[in-house]
Amino acid sequence: MVHWSSGFPGAELVLVAMAFIWGAILGSFVNVVIHRLPRGQSVVTHGSRCPACGASIRPRDNVPILGWLLLGGRCRDCGAAISAGYPAIEAGCGAIAAIIAAAELSGFGSPLLAASRPGIDRLLSGDWRIALAWAIHTVIPVAMLAWNLTAALAGTAATEASRRHPTHDGCDAAALVAAAVIALVTAAPAVGPPGFLIDGRAPEALRGWQATFVASCLGVVAGRFAGAVTGAGGDRCGLATFGAAAGWQAVVVVTIVTMGVRLLVAAMRPQGLIGRVVAAAAPAVAATAFFAAWLPIAEAWGRCWRVLLPG
């Protein structure tokens, strides 16, 4: 099932490393979102500043992960400690992008079920859909992480500014993101083989772009409902967006995993921040695992279809 390219050795490793760097760059934007949204600040204007002394952070110190390491976790101007949470989130987002790239290049996580060639050969021969799948499948867990951590950490950001401005978690953008994802997953099979949603091994009658559109819309509805059930801030928009990209069946799996992790966290009662962060990150980690293990999950779902709709 897993098959690597017959091309030059190490090509996949280079692409996976590039994916990690791209993910870490996304992660540094996630840091900006988590820090600024609860304070009612813009996420696009103004450069990064030291939270202690307000000095602008120089571009070379702002390089994801490396900047923090080279500074020894302290501000260059005032020496105040900079939270290890910043490089941790950058590394986490890098890992999401790299894991999904490795899974999709090996074929293990490929949503393009009709294709039989290894991912890298398809990529090198100009099949843009594998790059599109990777981009969608990376951005969604990263966005889920951003929404959930913003909601989970908003309470700790009780600054003067957050009391002046109404706190919000960026969920107002979720409808737009979900609509864009529905359009993408609907358009992709319309111009090529089906398989962008988890029911890609469904019977012929349930495939094609109309079926994809319906499954994607059902994914949004399932995600909104699941988010209301789990009750954690950020789930409502995160699970709806995930449902748009993977279908309603995927929402069921990820919601069950998320609730299991949160029950475990609640039972273990960790002190302070760690438990809140683990509980908040659970849906994003589950979504990453889901995208990375796409092929076996799709095959299992294909067997379900054959049981549900024999003949």
Closer Cβ to Zn ion, 51 or 208, answer by number: 51
Q: Residue from 2, 70, 78, 229 that binds Zn ion (CB under 5 A)? A: 78
Shortest CB 30 distance to Zn ion, Å:
21
Which residues, in sequence order, are CB contacts of 250 under 8 Å at separation 6+?
198, 219, 242, 243, 290, 297
The beta strand positions in 93-170, using DSSP E, are: none
Closer Cβ to Zn ion, 71 or 131, answer by number: 71
Shortest CB 43 distance to Zn ion, Å:
21
CA dist., res. 268 & res. 256, Å (int): 18
Q: Is 77 in the site for Zn ion (CB under 5 A)?
A: yes
Closer Cβ to Zn ion, 81 or 274, answer by number: 81
Residues between 80 and 109 with contacts to Zn ion, criterion CB under 5 A: 80
Shortest CB 81 distance to Zn ion, Å:
10
Q: Which stretch binds Zn ion (CB under 5 A): 36-44, 76-84, 114-122, 191-199?
A: 76-84
Q: Which stretch binds Zn ion (CB under 5 A): 31-39, 79-87, 151-159, 178-186?
A: 79-87
Q: Which stretch binds Zn ion (CB under 5 A): 72-80, 84-92, 111-119, 196-204?
A: 72-80
Shortest CB 80 distance to Zn ion, Å:
5
Site string for Zn ion, 43-62 (x = CB under 5 A): -------x-xx---------
Q: Exposed/middle/buried for 109, CB within 10 Å: 0-12, 13-18, 19+?
A: buried
Long-range contacts of 208-216 (CB under 8 A, 24+ apart): 212/185, 212/186, 213/182, 213/186, 215/247, 215/248, 216/181, 216/182, 216/185, 216/186, 216/243, 216/244, 216/245, 216/247
CA dist., res. 306 & res. 311, Å (int): 8
Closer Cβ to Zn ion, 60 or 303, answer by number: 60
Q: Which stretch binds Zn ion (CB under 5 A): 11-19, 77-85, 195-203, 279-287?
A: 77-85
Closer Cβ to Zn ion, 77 or 127, answer by number: 77
Q: Residue from 26, 33, 75, 149 that binds Zn ion (CB under 5 A)? A: 75
With CA atoms as reference, report the closest residue to 170 among 32, 4, 3: 32
Shortest CB 236 distance to Zn ion, Å:
36
Write the DSSP symbol of residue 156: G
CA dist., res. 43 & res. 304, Å (int): 44
Long-range contacts of 71-76 (CB under 8 A, 24+ apart): 75/50
Shortest CB 54 distance to Zn ion, Å:
7
Structure tokens at 79: 């020496």
Q: Is 17 in the site for Zn ion (CB under 5 A)?
A: no
How far does Cα 106 stand from its chain's mean position?
Answer: 20
Residues that bind Zn ion (CB under 5 A): 50, 52-53, 75, 77-78, 80
